[in-house]
Structure 1
Amino acid sequence: MTEQTPSWWIALLHLQTTESCRVMLVARKSPERPALSVEGSDGTWTHYTFGELHERATAAAAYALATGPKEGDHTLVALPNGEGLVRAVLASWMLGRTPLIVPPEATESERRTLFLHLGREKREAFVWSESRLAAALEQDISQRLFVPRTQEPPVTWYLPTGGSTGLPSLLPVGPSPATVLTGARRLMRRTGWSPDAVQLSLGPLSRTAPLAMCMAGIAGGAHVVMPRRLDPASLESAVRGFAPTWCQLTPHQMSAIDAHQSLWDALCRSLKGMVHTSAPCPDEVKRRWISRLGGGRVHETYSSTQAVAATLCDGDEWLAHPGTVGRPFFSNEVLIADQGGRLLPPGGIGEVYMRSEWTGLSGGRDLRGILSGGEHFRSVGDLGHTDSDGYLYLMGRLDNMTVVGGDNISAREVENVLLTHPDVLDAAVVKRSDPLLGSVLHAVMVPSDLIRPPGIDGVRGHCLRSLSPYKVPRTVEWVEVLPRSHAGKYETALHG
């Protein structure tokens, strides 16, 4: 060290395992290295180097410390995909605070539901907004200097999920950012990612996999590219302009890309690897991706918002074990148990329990668990079985969650909104198969007037006042009665 070395740099040397410090180290070593490129609504791209991103995140942290509560463990982030959201998350970690991630399109009713089980100190967290992020950049340069806390927050973030109650809520994902994102990069490396990757980021950053892999990529030194939306023109602009080498996708996104040959041709020239998550992928789509890219470049992983553990397989493994979501990755473990907690042999269908080296420290502590071999295993409510080679196959969920285009939707939440319609006496929401999204929602309702029931447009408009568009039932059906037991459960199965 020299006498000219600033004190904040000396302090940061003690933070070399933190994710915000990883960004700082790249910024100091290669300030002009590209970190993030974001497409605007007009189709133009804005680029941020690591030097710029770190300076902007530091300014945001200093602004929050000066204008917000001096104490507190949380911040609230309800921002769209883009540099602002990335900066808010990094700044939160610099402050030693855990960001609560809320979808920007969430209605007030949905937000109240998400925060229902959180304490007051979380509901009163410092709120990041576009105006506050802009104000942070207008501070005098002397006010931007900020020394991050010596420890990251003990929980990486809170993310929305359906949870075990059947209603959406914000659940903690932990432990620290360094632990969570190091684990994400470990998986990403196995699927073709590297620190010099050009990483395509398509999914909403209020979802587990897109957010974790975006932040892990940036902190790991990659150049993350964010198109504004999932359409051919936007994607071709990103693929032809940046030649991405790695991406994380949902089956819905894979299906959309699958239909455009010119986009495929461009992707095949640059992509070294990809991983898909979130929902079952249609067999024909999966096989075409493997045929075009090769089995070694197509991967599938299975995990959860709570990040209890993960499985992984490549395309060649999948072809040898069609329908699998992979085997436990690294030190992760999987077992299948019946309702009494007894372990089942390969082929036996039961509840899927998983663990990793930090299961006991994660949000999985609030899930159902069993003890096996002295270790705690947790379940997120999925049913499945393993084969003799240890590959896992999923068979559905214990609860009434439906996956639509990669998003978990609570049937109970949608039913509650339908029941507030003045002309609806009873309602049930079921899923229907869909070739693109995998499943869509179908509402079965009892109207107050069966001869003149409400029109579908009126029902959907009513739902849109309280629900995000992807949660609104695609189709509706009117019946005279919904057979229920005294406990309120359907006495007969309903089918979409």
Structure 2
Amino acid sequence: MTTDTRPRTPASSVGRRLLELAERDPSRPAVTSRDGSHGWQTLTRAQLCARVRHAAAVLRSTADPAEPCVLIDLPNGHECVVAVLAAWWDGRTPVIVPPGATDEERAALFRDTAQAVPGVSFSDEPLRPALGEPPARPQGPEPDVEAAQAWHLPSGGSTGLPRLVPAAGSALAVLSGHQLLLSAVGWSPGVTQLVIGPLFHAAPFTSAFGGLVAGDHLVMPDRFAPAVLAEALENWPPQWCQLTPHQMSLLAADPGLADLLCRDLRALMHTAAPCPEDVKRDWITRLGGDRLYEMYGSTQMIGVAVCDGSQWLTRPGTVGRPFMTQVRILDEEGRRLPPGRQGEVVMRSAVTRRLPAALAAGLRQHRGGFYGVGDLGYLDADGYLFLTDRLDDVIIVGGANVSAREVENALRKHPGIQDAVVTGRPHGVLGEAVHAAVACDPARPVTLQEVREHCGGLLAAHKVPVTVDVVEELARSRSGKVERFRYARLDSGT
């Protein structure tokens, strides 16, 4: 399928952008998704627009006009896409939460936020049926003026339970900004985009909807399974996609599937978590340095850094140079540090200049309008950013700082350890002690003694894990991040 590169006239809202795309090329595919009961289904631009218009009409006729938000807890697929677009069409803010979230998880999302649980949900009657096939001649309102907040999404939740994070500004304005960013990581308007990550996570959400309103064809498998992915890749070869390092590792374990993905791929962007060096090098070999990109950012969107594989090869470990962002490294007193010195990573961008007060209050604020999310790192002499740890992942052992990431990297060098996460646990003498959870082949588990001997050859004595949990796989959030906070508990240990 060729890329649509024709000039575009700006629209005043996402809804009007959908109308414009449908009028320009009504039969062009817009969303292809799969669910377990109906198989694959493709909506053209005209069909998608009709469904969104109908869903928006039902929303407007049944929901309180004073309710500014709509709850969306649907799995990836055309229903979720239609629900988000219908909320924007009707001038409301979608609040996207994980489908099937427990009561504890849902309560945690709304705790300590200014956002109340919306009284309107697309999972309830009569909105859920409105996401399907519309009447023969769907009637509905014209696209409304968009809300002041584009959306609410959960934070990554790697160090604790996620919290809802708002995106300030109209949906189209925020997505247009993301299109500029996507253009820096190999994306171009009108491509076929593979969407594997959950839409309640920031990177898949902004990549998918930023692409959709620029004319992309979204291909959305309902699960990360070899047979399902192979079917998608064979029938709708993607030209661009966003993956997590964990997904890259799983795909690399199936060379045939990885080759299918790379067949027509122009670029791949990875984000959401640090990428192990062996995984990074493997994908650079597969795609070439000019087609593999990394993006460092956060759900709060205070700023980003990007790099391609060629830049990474000359500076292994970098997450790139700031893009439309100013980055500084600060010491504990808030003073700026020179290149090569580790400190807190803080950012300033167009987004930070318009941060809502409620969101700003949840960030680490610094002089000059800079904000941080708790990452530690340094800049080299050429302005490339390197991450070393997080403030909440520094373990203080007898007064000495231990980097959890440094210990994790050492553990991954053991041939029997597939993955690792390191946390601190209370210790009667040292204050904290290093604890590790390691994922191994259950047929060949490592022992505490093996782990300590291995790390003893690579790390100072106070950095060597004192306790170890051996597991088949690490607990991950729905967005693919290791849930580090689960391993800081005292209910298990070797």
Once the two structures are superposed, residues 202-227 of structure 1 have per-residue CA deviations (whole angstroms, 9 ceiling, x without a partner) of 00111010011111111110101011
Q: Deviations over 1:417-449 (max 9, x none)?
A: xxxxxxxxxxx996635589xxxxxxxxxxxxx
Question: What SS does the aligned partner of 1:262 have?
Answer: helix
Correspondence 1:267 to 2:261: yes
Query: Cα 1:59–1:156, aligned 2, differ >3 Å: closer, same or farther?
Result: same
Does residue 322 of structure 1 match 2:316? yes
> What secondary structure does 1:300 align onto?
strand
1:432 equivalent in structure 2: 437
C-alpha distance 430-26 of structure 1, shift in aligned 2 (>3 A):
farther
Which residue number in structure 1 is paired with residue 90 of structure 2? 95
Q: Secondary structure at the match of 1:194?
A: coil
* 8 Å CA contact 1:166, 1:400 repeated in 2: no
Q: Establish whether residue 23 from structure 1 lines up as the match of residue 14 from structure 2.
A: no
Residue by residue over 1:322-360, the C-alpha shift from the partner in whole angstroms, topping out at 9 and shown as x without a partner, is 00111111x211111111110111111111101212212
Aligned to 1:210: 204
Q: Deviations over 1:287-312 (max 9, x none)?
A: 01101110000000000011111100
Percent identical among aligned pairs is 41
- CA shift in 2, pair 1:267/1:15, >3 Å: closer
Q: Is the 8 A contact 1:74 1:122 kept in 2?
A: no
Letter in 2 for 1:103: P
* TM superposition shift of 1:95: 1.7
Does 1:160 find its partner at 2:154?
yes
Mean alpha-carbon deviation: is it higher for 29-38 or for 166-175?
Answer: 166-175
Aligned residue runs from structure 1 range 71-90, under 5 A:
71-90=66-85
- C-alpha separation between the residues in 1 aligned to 2:123 and 2:281? 43
Map of 1:229 onto structure 2: 223
- Structure-to-structure mapping, 1:137-152, within 5 angstroms: 144-149=139-144, 151-152=145-146
Task: Point out the more displaced range, 320-329 or 87-96.
Answer: 87-96
Kept after mapping to 2: 8 A contact 1:43/1:234: no
Corresponding residue for 2:446? Answer: none
Q: How do 1:261-340 residues align onto structure 2 when only pairs under 5 Å count?
A: 261-329=255-323, 331-340=324-333
Q: Which amino acid in the other structure matches residue 116 of structure 1?
A: R
Aligned residue for 2:378?
Answer: 385
Contact in 2 for aligned 1:63/1:144 (Cα 8 Å): no
The aligned runs of 1:50-61 (5 Å cut-off) are 50-61=45-56
Q: Relative to structure 1, is the Cα distance of residues 205 and 435 closer, same or farther in structure 2, using a 3 angstrom cutoff? A: farther
Q: Which residue of 2 aligns with 1:453?
A: none
| 1:351 to 1:236, Cα distance in 2 relative to 1, 3 A | same
Judge conservation of contact 2:67–2:118 (CA < 8 Å) in 1: no
Cα–Cα, structure 1 residues 434 and 173, in superposed 2: closer, same or farther, change >3 Å?
farther
Q: For residues 342-382 of structure 1, what are the alpha-carbon distances to aligned partners after superposition, in whole Å with 9 as ceiling and x for unaligned?
A: 0111111111101212212236523112233xxx1110111
Measured at CA, do residues 429 and 62 of structure 1 come closer, stay the same or move farther in structure 2, by a change above 3 Å?
Answer: farther
Find the residue that maps to 1:266 and give its secondary structure. helix
d(CA) in 1 for partners of 2:245, 2:440: 11
CA contact (8 A) 1:202 1:249 kept: yes
Deviations for 1:58-107, whole angstroms, at most 9, x for unmatched residues? 11111011011122211111111111111111111112211111101210
Is 1:357 matched with 2:362?
no
Retained in 2: the 8 A contact 1:164–1:381? no
Partner SS state of residue 61, structure 2:
helix
Equivalent position SS for 1:214: helix
**What's the counterpart of residue 192 of structure 1?**
186
Which residue does the alignment assign to 1:62?
A: 57
Contact 2:190 2:211 in 1 (8 A): no
1:254-301: CA deviation from partner (whole Å, max 9, x where unpaired)? 001111111222223210001000001110111011011100000000
In structure 2, distance between residues paired with 1:49 and 1:380: 40
SS state of the match for residue 127, structure 1?
coil
SS in 2 for 1:148: coil
- In structure 2, what residue type is equivalent to 1:350? G
Out of 94, 100, 112, the position equivalent to 2:107 is: 112
Aligned-partner residue type, residue 388 of structure 2: M
Letter in 1 for 2:169: P
RMSD: 3.7
Distance 2:297 2:91 in 1: 26
Query: Aligned pair in 2 of structure 1 residues 163, 234: CA closer, same or farther (>3 Å)?
Result: closer
Contact 2:272 2:481 in 1 (8 A): no
What is the alpha-carbon distance in structure 1 between the residues aligned to residue 308 and residue 48 of structure 2?
A: 34
Structure 2: how far apart are the matches of 1:39 and 1:369?
43
* Distance in 1 between residues matched to 2:161 and 2:378, nearest whole Å: 26
* Separation in 1, partners of 2:112, 2:379: 35
Distance 1:43 1:88, change over 3 A: closer
Q: Is it true that 1:371 corresponds to 2:364 in the alignment?
A: no
How many residues are aligned here? 421
Q: Displaced runs of 4+ in structure 1, greater than 4 A?
A: 136-143, 162-167, 400-404, 428-431, 433-436, 468-479
Normalising by structure 2, report the TM-score: 0.77
Q: Which runs of 5+ in 2 are unaligned?
A: 1-7, 395-403, 409-420, 426-432, 442-469
Find the partner of 1:254 among 232, 238, 248.
248
Normalised TM-score (structure 1): 0.76
The amino acid that maps onto 2:31 is: L
Distance (Å, rounded) in 1 between the aligned partners of 2:342 and 2:63: 51
Alpha-carbon distance between aligned partners in 1 of 2:248 and 2:364, rounded to the nearest angstrom: 32
| C-alpha separation in 1, matches of 2:207 and 2:439 | 28
Measured in 2, the distance between the counterparts of 1:332 and 1:307 equals 11
Counterpart secondary structure, 1:112: helix
Q: Which residue of 1 aligns with 2:392?
A: 399
Question: Secondary structure at the residue paired with 2:318?
Answer: coil
Q: CA deviation at 1:167?
A: 4.5
CA contact under 8 A between 1:193 and 1:246: conserved in structure 2? yes
Aligned partners of 2:22 and 2:45 also within 8 Å: yes
| 3-state secondary structure, aligned to 2:338 | coil
Find the counterpart in structure 2 of residue 490 from structure 1: none
Deviation per CA, 1:6-36, whole angstroms, max 9, x where unpaired?
Answer: xxxxxxx998142232222101111111001
